């Protein structure tokens, strides 16, 4: 069988149709992916931003820092200067705001402009004050 590159055959027409239709479907599915994943993630981030009460950075002893984002649903997102992060719920306290994980092995306590972190009974972030 001899292939003639400048001649239109029914094979070349079928291949052209398949490429055209395939390109349409690939573009359609990429658009749906963008719509479902990227736009949905942007909407989630926007909803989270709307639920933020306050963002605070605490400077602590030993050059440690705590970045705290307080949310309307009584949770706080913490970013610690040692690279760890936590999302914890508010718990009962006699004074100030107390946040802890379920087994209370990690406790973040804030009152006024101060804060500290208690991990398994040891104060790991102490003498923390709101950054001015």
Instruction: Answer yes or no: do 44 and 68 share one domain.
Output: no
Say yes or no: 4 and 19 in one domain: yes
Each residue's pLDDT tens digit, 58-103: 999 999 999 999 998 899 999 999 999 999 999 998 888 999 999 9
pLDDT higher than 80, residue 3: no
Residues 62 and 114 in one domain: yes
Of 87, 92, 95, give the one whose Cα is nearest residue 71. 87
Do 74 and 45 have their domain in common? no
Residues 3 and 45 in one domain: yes
The rounded distance, in Å, linking the Cα atoms of 85 and 77 is: 7
- Does residue 65 contact residue 125 with C-beta atoms inside 8 Å? no
Q: How many domains are there within the chain?
A: 2
Query: With 80 as the cut, is the pLDDT of residue 45 above it?
Result: no
Give the tens place of pLDDT for each residue, 109-132: 999 999 999 999 999 999 999 997
Domain extent for 24: 1-50
CATH assignment of the domain containing 126: 2.40.128.200
């Amino acid at each position: 069988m001899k292939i003639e590159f400048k001649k239109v055959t029914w094979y070349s027409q079928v291949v052209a149709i398949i490429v055209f239709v395939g390109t349409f479907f690939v573009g359609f599915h990429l658009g749906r992916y963008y719509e479902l994943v990227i736009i949905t993630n942007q909407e989630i981030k926007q909803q989270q931003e709307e639920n933020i009460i306050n963002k605070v950075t605490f400077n602590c002893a030993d050059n440690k820092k705590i970045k705290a984002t307080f949310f309307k649903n009584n949770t706080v997102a913490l970013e610690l200067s040692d690279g760890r992060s936590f999302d914890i719920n508010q718990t009962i306290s006699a004074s100030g705001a107390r946040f802890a994980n379920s087994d209370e092995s990690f406790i973040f306590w804030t009152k006024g402009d101060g804060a500290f972190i208690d991990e398994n009974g040891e104060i790991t972030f102490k003498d923390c004050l709101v950054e001015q």
